[in-house]
């Protein structure tokens, strides 16, 4: 049986919350849960409902892969931060970034 990495959920959420500069109280208020409940998810391995998980992923700009496939996530902090920034871009910005990277990679 494959090992379930869902026990890393709290660490992933806490890191993303801090990266966004949000306190537990702020994030809790935004997604309409109690700070105690968020603390139990982050620190006590409490599993959130689908609805709460959905709101957390959306508000924190996380890829669902970061939650469900953490072993595929890069250990490189710079890459993770770049992925988070990309998730905040609109289509025009993604097009500009793609063209820039393609131009940089041409030799």
Judge whether 53 and 67 are in contact, CB under 8 Å.
yes
Half-sphere exposure of 14 (CA within 13 A, CB side): 16
User: Three-class SS of residue 28?
Assistant: helix
Q: What is the dihedral of CA 20, 25, 29, 33, to 10 degrees?
A: 110
Distance CA 73, CA 13 (A): 14
**pLDDT in the model for residue 63:** 81
Q: Tell me which of 1.10.260.40, 1.10.730.10, 3.40.1160.10, 2.40.50.140 is the CATH number of domain 1-73.
A: 1.10.260.40
Provide the whole-model pTM.
0.64
- Domains of the chain, by residue range, sit at 1-73, 75-107
CA 30 to chain centre: 16
Low-confidence ranges of the chain (pLDDT < 50): 1-3
């Amino acid at each position: 049986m494959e090992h379930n990495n869902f026990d890393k959920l709290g660490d992933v959420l806490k890191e993303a919350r801090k990266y966004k500069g949000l306190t537990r109280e702020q994030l809790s208020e935004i997604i309409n849960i109690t700070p105690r409940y968020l603390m139990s998810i982050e620190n006590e391995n409490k599993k959130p409902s689908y609805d709460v998980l959905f709101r957390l992923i959306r508000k924190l700009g996380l890829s669902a892969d970061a939650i469900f496939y953490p072993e595929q996530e890069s250990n490189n902090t710079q890459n993770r931060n770049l992925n988070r920034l990309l998730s905040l871009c609109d289509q025009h910005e993604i097009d500009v970034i793609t063209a820039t990277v393609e131009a940089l990679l041409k030799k």
